[in-house]
């Protein structure tokens, strides 16, 4: 059994807590070392060990202990750790800033995926419906699992051979994969949003927040939008119609999906959306400049929402 450690001194496999059985050195130059730490060199090294038959256990080895095993003094470790850490932080910061464009790609990919899932599901339901029209299952994912399982009661549907069914099952499996991919993308989007726009995420939730960034074309764009524009983001078509044909102006765009706005009585929604839009503009500005989470935003918004809800119409 060995434990692995990914340290600024290199990668180590440690047995019994005090034997360095494998060492993968890092470049002397802190910058180059940081690049390897930021990339996937460690994962590659770890899987090469696994291939060579090492039994790897979870668990921590103090990097300072490893330094000691290498004959390094505590101060030498600190010096090296600091040099590498500074380079590593620089590398990661470079990636962190400008990541709002990544948010736009990810939420758009989710849109594409949802569309594809719908198209696929229509096809699959029509196809399997030939064979088993009696199957009533509204939820797509469950429906797919039922196809793969292949249980079927008395049916007036068309009888299909294993071979005929096989082709359909392959497609059903692909459908399930798409659902899994959607889940992965959603959790990635959450992480990304908390890094890129923590205050917008707190106020609006990660999904709605990402949608607003996407509609605005970026975090910076969102930060400098007047509240009245944020309020109708996502309702561009209705706005266009209003300007062209004089139909009533849209009261709220995607902001309307916010649970506190959505659940409010119709008479209050416009006001709530306006208040939320104003707070979101401020939150986006803080995200842009400091990236620091300020719980005050949510508190203020909740207070304001309460006032609006309690006011006489």
Ligand X SMILES: C[S@@+](CC[C@H](N)C(=O)[O-])C[C@H]1O[C@@H](n2cnc3c(N)ncnc32)[C@H](O)[C@@H]1O
Name the minimum Å distance from CB 2 to other proteins.
15
Instruction: Assess 312 for contact with ligand X (CB under 6 A).
Output: no
Binding of other proteins at residue 89 (CB under 8 A)?
yes
Site for other proteins in 293-312 (CB under 8 A): 293, 295, 298-299, 302
Cβ atoms of residues 137 and 128 within 8 Å: no
What letter does residue 56 receive in the DSSP assignment?
A: B
**Contact set for other proteins, span 190-249 (CB under 8 A):** 195, 198
Query: 110: closest CA among 184, 193, 205?
Result: 184
Q: Using CB positions, name the residue nearest to ligand X.
A: 292
Residues comprising the chain, all counted: 313
Residues 131-170 close enough to bind other proteins by CB under 8 A: none
262 lines the binding site for other proteins (CB under 8 A) = no
Interface of this chain with ligand X, residues 275 to 294, rule: CB under 6 A:
292-293
- Comparing CB distances to other proteins, the nearer of 66 and 272 is 66
Terminal CA-to-CA distance of the chain, rounded, Å?
A: 70
Distance (Å) of CA 303 to CA 244, 275, 282, 285, 312: 38, 11, 16, 21, 16
Could you give the CA distance from residue 134 to residue 153 in angstroms, rounded to a whole number? 9
Is residue 266 close enough to count as binding other proteins by CB under 8 A? Answer: no
Q: What CA–CA distance (Å, rounded) separates 143 from 131?
A: 14
What is the CA 71 to chain-centroid distance, rounded? 43
Among 31, 54, 63, 241, binds other proteins (CB under 8 A): 63
Instruction: Note the residues at the interface with ligand X (CB under 6 A).
Output: 292-293
Instruction: Note the residues at the interface with other proteins (CB under 8 A).
Output: 5-8, 60, 62-65, 77-79, 81-82, 84-86, 88-90, 92-93, 96-97, 195, 198, 289-293, 295, 298-299, 302
């Amino acid at each position: 059994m060995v434990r692995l450690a990914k340290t600024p001194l290199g990668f180590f496999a440690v047995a019994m807590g005090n034997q360095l059985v494998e060492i993968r050195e890092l470049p002397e130059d802190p910058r180059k070392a940081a690049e390897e730490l930021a990339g996937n060199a460690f994962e590659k090294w770890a899987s090469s060990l696994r291939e060579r038959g090492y039994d790897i256990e979870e668990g921590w080895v103090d990097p300072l202990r490893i330094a000691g095993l290498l004959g390094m003094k505590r101060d030498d470790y600190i010096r090296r750790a600091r040099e590498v850490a500074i380079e590593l932080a620089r590398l990661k910061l470079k990636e962190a800033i400008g990541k709002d464009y990544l948010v736009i790609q990810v939420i758009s990919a989710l849109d594409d995926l949802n569309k594809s899932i719908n198209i696929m599901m229509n096809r699959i339901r029509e196809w399997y419906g030939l064979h088993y029209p009696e199957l009533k299952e509204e939820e797509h994912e469950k429906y797919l699992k039922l196809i793969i399982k292949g249980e079927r009661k008395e049916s007036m549907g068309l009888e299909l051979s294993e071979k005929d069914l096989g082709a359909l099952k392959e497609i059903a499996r692909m459908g399930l994969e798409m659902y899994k991919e959607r889940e992965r993308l959603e959790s990635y989007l959450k992480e990304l949003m908390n890094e890129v726009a923590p205050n917008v995420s707190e106020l609006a939730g990660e999904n709605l927040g990402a949608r607003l960034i996407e509609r605005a074309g970026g975090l910076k764009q969102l930060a400098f939008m007047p509240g009245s524009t944020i309020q109708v983001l996502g309702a561009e078509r209705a706005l266009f119609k209003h300007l062209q044909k004089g139909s009533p102006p849209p009261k709220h765009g995607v902001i309307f999906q916010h649970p506190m706005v959505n659940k409010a009585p119709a008479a209050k929604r416009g006001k709530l959306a306006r208040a939320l839009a104003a707070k979101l503009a401020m939150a986006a500005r803080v995200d842009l400049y400091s990236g620091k989470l300020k719980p005050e935003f949510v508190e203020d918004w909740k207070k304001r929402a309460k006032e609006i809800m309690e006011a006489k119409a």
